[in-house]
Amino acid sequence: MPRPAAADLKRDAETLLEAWNGSGAKAARLGTLFLHEGQRQRLPLPARRAGSACAAVVALAERQLWFTLGPHAGVAAAPAGQEQFGEEPSLDRGEPGGAPVRSQAGVARLSDCGRGCAPLLGVELAMGSGRGAIEVLMVSGADLLMPVELVLPERARGAPAPVDEAGPLPVPGPLVERLQRAERAARADGAVDVTPLDAGLFPSGGGGLLLKLAAGCHRLAVLAEGPPEARARGIDMDAELRLPGERAPLVRDRSHAPDARIDFCLGDAGPVELRFAGPSGPVEITVVDASWPLPPGLPRQGGAQLRAELAWALHRSRSTGPQSPPTFMAAGASGVTLVPVDVEPGACYLAALGLSRGEARAMRLAARVAGRSYHDETTEPPFGAALSFCAGSARLALLSAEVRAAGAWWTLVLWPHGREEP
């Protein structure tokens, strides 16, 4: 009889231990870690006698997850409830024992075998995607270690895809034409004001500016005018925007283009820091600021961050924006939350979801009403989701707010949005 369906991660770990112990190595299971995206966990390794065989640590997770496994000397296990959360799982801190490795097909291996390698005293794991369990195994006599893909053929990575050549950098046209093109594009998207700012000469090809911007949505285009030899080679301009006191950028542009463009919204007027980098050598930088005002119906509760994220969600969906205050608001924490809302038959509504505190890694807003489903989601900053729906003959709509974050609070807002045509 077939056995009942069950999770296979523990069985995979047991299969590896059996194969390795049968081949002459000494393998043991150190334990199971449950990590969220962006979470790090340090794990000390059992002490070994001087002159003992080299060892390896193998971390095993589901194939769809990726994580990093790096050495860390003199670690102690993090106390419960004090796990470290970071912006990105970057572990390259110069610790002995080699550089961190990224998992492939849910497997990462770290070894102190080889001449000149310092012995592993501890390891640190960082989850890079999703959340899940990681089985941690340690093998003494790792020179006899049978490859994981031979024991578990489904973990084989396969041949890597060929890397395509990106080709030469695009050659920018005259600065006047690019300025006019940026202004026309902003006007076509409904910008009410377009202001060119002559930032000046930057000898190294990059730098930063402190700008004071009004509340509303903005599009900053960063255009560089370099010497003729630089223009002939092509220009790739990158830019990012930060709020004062924030470590992570609010939004960034890393595309391969002569001009950088970043779009975002501000809930209140205030300073922002614009950083940019382009070709080596002196360049003249011009910044074009196109702006859209905040919709008058945004709530004052929740602060500037909430207004900015709601405004961005509406701006991204090209909605005209609410003109009157919302008729419904709900708040919650990260995870998936179902929110039932009373609606009027025949009426249409506009819903938006944004954070009032914290940082998100993904956000999804969904609605189900009268047998129809609607959704909007975003996985890159700036965050904010919005959708519109009509009630039909229903009197109840079921909204779903899904926010992937750590320690964040969201607010769901609903406005009337006209009536359904008969």
Please state the rounded mean pLDDT for residues 287-305: 93
Q: What is the pLDDT of residue 118?
A: 73
Domain boundary among 124, 155, 186: 155
pTM above 0.75, yes or no: no
Each residue's pLDDT tens digit, 113-158:
766 667 788 899 998 877 789 999 998 876 667 888 888 888 887 6
Look up the CATH number of the domain holding residue 198: 2.60.120.380
Counted domains in the chain: 3
CA–CA gap between residue 214 and residue 304 (Å, rounded): 12
**Whether residues 113 and 140 fall in one domain:** yes
Q: Is residue 115 part of a domain?
A: yes
**Whether residues 27 and 100 fall in one domain:** yes
* Structural domain range at position 188: 175-292
**Whether residues 275 and 310 fall in one domain:** no
- Give residue 275's pLDDT band: very low, low, confident or very high (50, 70, 90): very high
| Low-confidence winner among 68-82, 168-182, 254-268, 366-380 (lowest mean pLDDT) | 68-82
Tally of residues, the chain: 422
Q: What is the pLDDT of residue 89?
A: 31
Asked whether the beta carbons of 324 and 297 are under 8 A apart, the reply is yes
Q: What is the pLDDT of residue 95?
A: 38
342 pLDDT higher than 80: yes
Q: Is residue 100 part of a domain?
A: yes
Q: Which sign, positive or negative, has the C-alpha torsion 324, 328, 330, 336? A: negative
**Whether residues 45 and 68 fall in one domain:** yes
**Whether residues 145 and 74 fall in one domain:** yes
**Whether residues 14 and 127 fall in one domain:** yes
Domain boundary among 104, 125, 155: 155
**Whether residues 16 and 125 fall in one domain:** yes
**Whether residues 308 and 287 fall in one domain:** no
286 pLDDT higher than 80: yes
Each residue's pLDDT tens digit, 50-70:
666 788 899 999 988 889 998
184 pLDDT higher than 80: yes
CA–CA gap between residue 241 and residue 64 (Å, rounded): 32
**Whether residues 254 and 323 fall in one domain:** no
**Whether residues 143 and 36 fall in one domain:** yes
288 pLDDT higher than 90: yes
H/E run at residue 247: none
**Whether residues 276 and 348 fall in one domain:** no
- Straight-line distance from the first to the last Cα atom of the chain, in angstroms, rounded to the nearest whole number: 58
- Give residue 83's pLDDT band: very low, low, confident or very high (50, 70, 90): very low
**Whether residues 147 and 195 fall in one domain:** no
Look up the CATH number of the domain holding residue 21: 2.60.120
Domain boundary among 292, 321, 340: 292
232 pLDDT higher than 80: no
For residue 49, give the DSSP letter: -
Give the pair of three-digit tokens for residue 74.
């003199």
Share of the chain above pLDDT 70, in %: 84
Contacts of 321 (CB under 8 A, 6+ apart): 294, 295, 296, 297, 298, 311, 314
Q: What is the pLDDT of residue 94?
A: 33
CA–CA gap between residue 155 and residue 157 (Å, rounded): 6
